[in-house]
């Protein structure tokens, strides 16, 4: 009998602990599938961060290092510099990356570290129960912006992909979402492209995923997906901010200077 | 066999020793008075094909060390007091994840920005934790440029052996002074397998994880007990100290690193005056040489201890714990970047004798 579907070997058999309607599961799967399809599962070290995915190493079937809050790009720098022929990626949320870890992400990108960052932006702190994140939308109600985020009081959302794409060391930056099949396939394409560019040694790569958090948004899963489309995408437009012209089918390995 | 002696600066010798010990990963951030470690690494490490990264902060530098150590490499960072404070987060994670790493603290006077001159006021921070959680670091306090060399090499071996952080604690005087140093032809590098490292699965049918998080309280308690057992073993087996003239001393000085060098001259000067002074010089500040201090306190000839530090009195607490009230423990300290003179220490000794405590 022909096998029409099987779980990816890039994930362990451990069931996800994520809430219903959260998109971490989809992101995990497309990263895991990409590792397998690129033949790098045995050759990759992932860096888990702090937040809902602190234990992503329980799910990804590659070697892993857990990092302190915001420090994943620095930890990944240490790993990659000592294991130059391996693939290293960080998996970080918006509190981790866009708040406490801004120095680490900006400088890892500026140095052109040959690592990939998977940045999951759900406009809120997830694990610590729904506080305002740097990415929280204006007007959005959270546990620490109970009257809605007010620009005159709490400032403005940070558009991380736009920010990082301004740095010369960042060679590929794309923002994707996971609202339907087409977008999920597009997201997977971005994941593979980022990893392939890293393997070619061109520089820093990042994929930002607009993601849902029904639990902390106080919404049903379907409702959350609609809210993402209606509210988040206008603030965080989808698209490739850097490296759109890089052709993954024609990547020459960059020789070390 | 020792080669010919060369004149080198303490900070540069630390860097050279690390390279000789097989360290190929240095991550740092500029701060006085440890700058020469970084300058030396910036040139030498690159020349030999190692990694030198000038990090965006001390916080990032220690996390780069964490990453390289997690990948099984010998890695180090160096800094001075305010920078070491910033590294405490990473130091705690290194302890939690049981990673071997070397951190150098060329101590300057604090608190706050303090001053750039030598001090020993980071003793508490180094030996009592510094970061959060139940953990220890091996803390080694060399007293000469030659010792900086030998003990930096040893720090890498100890870190690998016990999967923990080893700190070299010097001060501005030691880092900046030039002394002759004799390098060995071959370093006594202990090669230790690291099957736990995250290097990519390769042929393994399981994946390695380096982490410090244990959500289940029983798991975390078990982990902490395991760490405590390791620390107890080290306390039994890795104490280093120097003992001078305690068999007939009336007053025993306790001092480490730069302070111990001044004290050695005081011992000679006192002997010329007919006063018998001995010394215990802790070389490992953790594990602390409590046992020998306790034994010396039992000697009938020993009437009192005088602890001398470049602080307002930090190590003296551990000396008192070791002496356990068996003999009086006096303290003399200078601060702010000042060093005590021989005369100041000698005057203290005379005062102790005249005070009837001897």
The residue among B23, B75, B99, B207 with the most chain A CBs within 10 A of its CB, best to mutate, is B207
Task: State the distance between the two ends of chain B, measured CA to CA, in whole angstroms.
Answer: 46
- Which tens digit of pLDDT belongs to each residue from A18-68? 999 999 999 999 999 999 999 999 999 999 999 999 999 999 999 999 999
* Shared-domain flag, residues B36 and B134: yes
Strands B241-244 and B277-282: antiparallel
* Shared-domain flag, residues B82 and B231: yes
Determine the average pLDDT of the residues in B196-205. 97
A66 close to B (CB below 8 A): yes
What span, in angstroms and rounded, lies between the C-alpha atoms of B283 and B334? 20
The residue among B53, B88, B200 with the most chain A CBs within 10 A of its CB, best to mutate, is B200
What span, in angstroms and rounded, lies between the C-alpha atoms of B72 and B80? 26
Q: What is the DSSP letter of B314?
A: S
- Which tens digit of pLDDT belongs to each residue from B207-248? 999 999 999 999 999 999 999 999 999 999 999 999 999 999
Boundary residue ending a domain (B237, B265, B290): B237
Name the 3-class secondary structure at B278.
strand
* Shared-domain flag, residues B232 and B261: no
Determine the average pLDDT of the residues in B137-163. 98
Out of A63, A104, A111, the one facing B200 most closely (by C-beta) is: A63
What span, in angstroms and rounded, lies between the C-alpha atoms of B247 and B134? 37
Q: Is the pLDDT of residue B2 over 80?
A: no
Contacts of residue B65, defined as CB under 8 A and 6 or more positions apart, other chains included, come to A78, B25, B27, B75, B76, B77, B90, B94, B101, B103
Q: Is the pLDDT of residue B155 over 60?
A: yes
What span, in angstroms and rounded, lies between the C-alpha atoms of A67 and B84? 19
Beta bridge partners of A124: A132
Q: What is the mean pLDDT of chain B?
A: 97
* Shared-domain flag, residues B189 and B225: yes
Closest among A212, A12, A207 to A118, alpha carbons compared: A207
B220 close to A (CB below 8 A): no
* Shared-domain flag, residues B130 and B105: yes
What's the pLDDT at B85? 98
What's the pLDDT at A257? 45
- Which tens digit of pLDDT belongs to each residue from B41-63? 999 999 999 999 999 999 999 99
- Which tens digit of pLDDT belongs to each residue from B59-77? 999 999 999 999 999 999 9
What span, in angstroms and rounded, lies between the C-alpha atoms of A215 and B152? 51
Q: Is the pLDDT of residue B175 over 70?
A: yes
B244 close to A (CB below 8 A): no
Distance (Å) of CA B46 to CA A113, B30, B49, B194: 17, 17, 5, 25
Name the token pair of A23.
């998109």
Beta bridge partners of A202: none
Residue A207 near residue A34, CB atoms below 8 Å: no
How many domains does chain B divide into?
A: 2
Name the token pair of B346.
């000698």
- Which tens digit of pLDDT belongs to each residue from B309-345? 999 999 999 999 999 999 999 999 999 999 999 999 9
Backbone angles phi, psi at A12, to 5 degrees: -75, 180
Q: Is the pLDDT of residue B357 over 80?
A: no
* Shared-domain flag, residues B230 and B245: no
Backbone angles phi, psi at B256, to 5 degrees: -125, 160
What span, in angstroms and rounded, lies between the C-alpha atoms of B229 and A129? 37
- Selected residues 303-332 of chain B with any CB under 8 Å from a CB in chain A: none
Closest among B25, B94, B31 to B63, alpha carbons compared: B94
Q: What is the mean pLDDT of chain A?
A: 96
A82 close to B (CB below 8 A): yes
Question: ipTM, 2 decimals?
Answer: 0.96
Closest among A63, A60, A50, A62 to A28, alpha carbons compared: A60
What's the pLDDT at A57? 97
Residue A205 near residue A172, CB atoms below 8 Å: yes
* Shared-domain flag, residues B200 and B94: yes
What span, in angstroms and rounded, lies between the C-alpha atoms of A165 and A156? 19
The reply to whether residue A75 touches residue B67, judged by beta carbons under 8 angstroms, is yes
Percent of chain B having pLDDT more than 90? 97
CATH number at residue B17: 3.40.50.970
Closest among A225, A250, A197, A164 to A34, alpha carbons compared: A197
Name the token pair of B100.
């071997």
Residue in chain B lying closest to A62 (CA): B207
- Selected residues 64-93 of chain B with any CB under 8 Å from a CB in chain A: 64-73, 75, 89-90, 93
3-state percent breakdown (helix, strand, coil) of chain A, nearest 5: 40, 20, 45
The reply to whether residue A65 touches residue B71, judged by beta carbons under 8 angstroms, is yes
What's the pLDDT at B265? 98
The residue among A10, A36, A75 with the most chain B CBs within 10 A of its CB, best to mutate, is A75
Q: What is the DSSP letter of B216?
A: S
Q: Is the pLDDT of residue B358 over 80?
A: no
The reply to whether residue B211 touches residue A65, judged by beta carbons under 8 angstroms, is yes
Out of A48, A57, A82, the one facing B71 most closely (by C-beta) is: A82
The reply to whether residue A81 touches residue B64, judged by beta carbons under 8 angstroms, is yes
Percent of chain A having pLDDT more than 90? 95
What span, in angstroms and rounded, lies between the C-alpha atoms of B173 and B119? 9
For chain A, the maximum distance between any two Cα atoms, rounded to a whole number of angstroms, is: 63
- The confidence band for B84, taking pLDDT boundaries of 50, 70 and 90, is very high
Closest among B126, B120, B137 to B171, alpha carbons compared: B120
* Shared-domain flag, residues B158 and B260: no
Closest among A138, A163, A133 to A153, alpha carbons compared: A138
Strands, sheet with B209-210, edge to edge from the N-terminal-most edge strand:
A239-242, A170-177, A204-210, A116-121, A87-93, A44-48, A63-66, B209-210
The residue among B209, B212, B219, B223 with the most chain A CBs within 10 A of its CB, best to mutate, is B209
Backbone angles phi, psi at B131, to 5 degrees: -95, -175
pLDDT: which is higher, A255 or B97: B97
- Which tens digit of pLDDT belongs to each residue from A173-184? 999 999 999 999
Domains located in chain A, CATH noted: 24-246 (3.40.50.970)
Out of A66, A80, A106, the one facing B210 most closely (by C-beta) is: A66
CATH number at residue B285: 3.40.50.920
Closest among B329, B332, B335 to B348, alpha carbons compared: B332
Name the token pair of A135.
């990415």
What span, in angstroms and rounded, lies between the C-alpha atoms of B114 and B85? 13
Residue A91 near residue A53, CB atoms below 8 Å: yes
Collect all residues of chain B within an 8 Å Cβ-Cβ radius of residue A87: 200
Contacts of residue A46, defined as CB under 8 A and 6 or more positions apart, other chains included, come to A56, A57, A60, A62, A63, A64, A65, A88, A89, A90, A91
* Shared-domain flag, residues B151 and B198: yes
Boundary residue ending a domain (B177, B210, B237): B237
Q: Is the pLDDT of residue A254 over 60?
A: yes
Q: Is the pLDDT of residue A131 over 50?
A: yes
Count CB atoms within 10 A of the CB of residue B337: 17
* Shared-domain flag, residues B205 and B312: no
Burial B32-66 (b: 16+ CB within 10 A, else e): bbbbbbbebbbebbeeeebbbbbbbbbbbbbbbbb
Range of the domain at B304: 241-354
Q: Is the pLDDT of residue B162 over 80?
A: yes
What's the pLDDT at B129? 86
- Which tens digit of pLDDT belongs to each residue from A136-163? 999 999 999 999 999 999 999 999 999 9
* Shared-domain flag, residues B135 and B55: yes
Out of B60, B68, B199, the one facing A81 most closely (by C-beta) is: B68
* Shared-domain flag, residues B9 and B143: yes
What's the pLDDT at B355? 83
What's the pLDDT at B3? 66
Boundary residue ending a domain (B219, B237, B255): B237
- Which tens digit of pLDDT belongs to each residue from B253-263? 999 999 999 99
Q: Is the bond preceding residue A227 a cis peptide, omega within 30 degrees?
A: no
């Amino acid at each position: 009998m022909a096998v029409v579907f099987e779980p990816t070997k890039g994930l362990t058999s451990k069931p996800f602990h994520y809430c219903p309607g959260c998109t971490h599961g989809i992101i995990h799967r497309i990263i895991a599938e990409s590792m397998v399809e690129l033949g790098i599962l045995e050759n990759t070290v992932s860096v888990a961060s702090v937040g809902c995915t602190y234990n992503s190493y329980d799910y990804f079937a590659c070697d892993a290092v857990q990092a302190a809050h915001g420090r994943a790009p620095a930890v990944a720098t240490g790993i990659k510099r000592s294991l130059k022929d391996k693939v290293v990626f960080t998996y970080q949320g918006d509190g981790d990356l866009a708040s406490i870890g801004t120095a680490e992400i900006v400088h890892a990108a500026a140095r052109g570290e040959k690592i990939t960052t998977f940045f999951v932006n759900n406009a809120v702190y997830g694990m610590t129960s729904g506080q305002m994140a740097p990415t929280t939308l204006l007007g959005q109600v959270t546990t620490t912006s109970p009257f809605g985020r007010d620009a005159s009081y709490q400032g403005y959302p940070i558009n991380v992909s736009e920010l990082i794409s301004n740095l010369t060391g960042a060679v590929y930056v794309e923002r994707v979402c996971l609202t339907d099949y087409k977008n999920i396939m597009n997201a997977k394409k971005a994941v593979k492209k980022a990893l392939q560019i890293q393997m070619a040694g061109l520089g820093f790569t990042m994929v930002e995923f607009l993601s849902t958090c029904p639990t902390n948004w106080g919404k049903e899963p379907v409702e959350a997906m609609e809210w993402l489309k209606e509210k988040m995408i206008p603030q965080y437009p989808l698209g490739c901010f850097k490296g759109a012209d890089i052709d993954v089918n024609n990547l020459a390995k960059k020789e070390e200077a | 066999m020792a080669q010919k002696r060369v004149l080198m600066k303490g900070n540069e010798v630390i860097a050279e020793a690390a390279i000789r010990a097989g360290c190929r990963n240095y991550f740092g951030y500029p701060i006085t008075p440890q700058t020469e470690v970084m300058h030396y690494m910036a040139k030498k490490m690159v020349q030999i094909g190692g990694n030198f990264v000038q990090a965006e902060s001390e916080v990032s530098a220690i996390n780069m060390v964490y990453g390289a150590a997690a990948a099984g490499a010998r890695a180090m960072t160096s800094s001075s007091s305010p920078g070491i404070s910033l590294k405490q987060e990473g130091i705690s994670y290194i302890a939690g994840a049981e990673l071997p790493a070397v951190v150098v603290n060329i101590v300057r006077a604090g608190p706050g920005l303090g001053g750039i001159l030598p001090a020993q006021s980071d003793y508490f921070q180094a030996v009592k934790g510094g970061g959060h959680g139940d953990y220890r670091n091996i803390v080694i306090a060399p007293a000469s440029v030659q010792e900086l060399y030998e003990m930096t090499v040893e720090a890498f071996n100890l870190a690998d052996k016990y999967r923990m952080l080893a700190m070299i604690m010097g001060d501005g005087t030691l880092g900046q002074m030039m002394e002759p140093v004799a390098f060995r032809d071959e370093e006594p590098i202990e090669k230790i397998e690291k099957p736990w490292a995250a290097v990519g699965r390769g042929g393994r049918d399981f994946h390695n994880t380096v982490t410090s998080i244990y959500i289940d309280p029983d798991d975390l308690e078990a982990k902490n007990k395991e760490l405590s057992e390791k620390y107890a073993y080290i306390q039994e087996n890795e104490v280093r100290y120097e003992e001078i003239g305690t068999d007939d001393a009336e007053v025993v000085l306790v001092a480490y690193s730069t302070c111990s060098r001044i004290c050695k001259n005081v011992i000679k000067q006192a002997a010329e005056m007919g006063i018998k002074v001995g010394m215990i010089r802790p070389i490992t500040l953790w594990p602390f040489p409590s046992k020998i201090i306790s034994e010396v306190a039992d000697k009938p000839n020993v009437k009192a201890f005088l602890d001398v530090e470049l602080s307002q009195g930090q190590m003296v607490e551990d000396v008192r714990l070791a002496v356990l009230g068996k003999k009086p423990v006096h303290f003399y300290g200078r601060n702010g970047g000042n060093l005590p003179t021989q005369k100041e220490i000698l005057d203290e000794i005379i005062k102790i004798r005249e005070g009837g405590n001897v």
